[in-house]
Structure 1
Amino acid sequence: MEIKDVLNKKLMILDLQSSSKEDVVMELVKPLVKEGIVTEESHFIKTVMDREAQSTTGIGMGIAIPHGKSSVVTEPSIVFGKSQKGIDYEALDGEPSYIFFLIAVPENSDDQHLRVLSQLSRSLMSEEIREKLLKATSEEEVLKAFQ
């Protein structure tokens, strides 16, 4: 499974409105619920926030990759979100986060989410990809950033 295989135009928010960590998680979960990928919204939000309590997924460079593995997730999915103003996500470098990838995987899946997380982290090390994502004004531009 590659990043481009799980990115879906219906799971993208190009102008996040949230201003806090928990709010952005709630906002990113909404498309998963709308598409029937998450069957119980509050349960999955709690799963992601419990993971955040262990250690932040704000990896720095303006990026956060919250994730959760849960029985209320029907298929592996990634929600892309972008904030124009930046959100304090308690990132490792202390800077605001602008680019978000929420990874959702079913409870019974293997460690494929770890492979996607690893791929995503490697891709986002590229300043060129980060710039393309920050400048993206359409879902197509987000997808092209990973080609």
Structure 2
Amino acid sequence: MNVAEVLDIEQIVMDLDVSTKEDVIESLAVKLAEKGVLSDKHSYIEAVLDREQHATTGVGNGIAIPHGKSPVVTEAAIAFAKLKSPVEWQSLDEQPVSIVIMLAIPDSEKGDTHLRLLSEIAVKLMDDDFVEALKEETRPVDIVTLLG
């Protein structure tokens, strides 16, 4: 399974107008629920926030990759947001976040699906040209192409 298989244009939000990471996570969880991949949106949000308590998912360079593995996730999916204004995320570089790539992984997923997806995204994020293109892109279809 790769990013292209789990990122749907319907789960991309441009200019998301929120002020906290909790608001970002909730907004993206709504998108995932609309797709039908969450049987319980609130339990999924709790799983993501619980993961945030253990270690930040703010990877630096204005990007966060929150994720939750939960029995309420019916199939692996990714939601993406470009924020209207950066929000505090306790990132590794202590900078606010303006791009969020959120993963939803079924608890029943045997194997390393979430690790493969995280790795695929992380490898791309090591490329400064890729990060710059992601930050400049304004069309959801092009976000899907870039990440996929």
Q: How does 1:1-147 map to 2 (within 5 A)?
A: 1-110=1-110, 111-146=112-147
SS state of the match for residue 27, structure 2? helix
Deviating more after overlay: 130-139 vs 69-78:
130-139
Q: Deviations over 1:11-31 (max 9, x none)?
A: 111111111111111111111
CA RMSD after TM alignment: 1.1
Gaps of 5+ in 1: none
Residues 75-126 of structure 1 deviation map (CA, whole Å, 9 limit, x = unaligned): 0001011113211111010101111110001111022111110110111111
The 3-state SS of whatever aligns with 2:108 is coil
| Count, aligned residues | 147
What is the distance in 1 between the residues matched to 2:128 and 2:21? Answer: 24
Instruction: Give the letter for the 1:18 counterpart.
Output: V
- Deviation at residue 71 of structure 1 after TM alignment: 0.7
Give the secondary structure class of the aligned counterpart of 1:145. helix
**Distance in 2, Cα, partners of 1:102 & 1:145:** 16
Percent identity (aligned) = 37
TM-score, normalising length: structure 2:
0.95
- Partner of 1:30: helix, strand, or coil? helix
Contact 2:18 2:85 in 1 (8 A): no
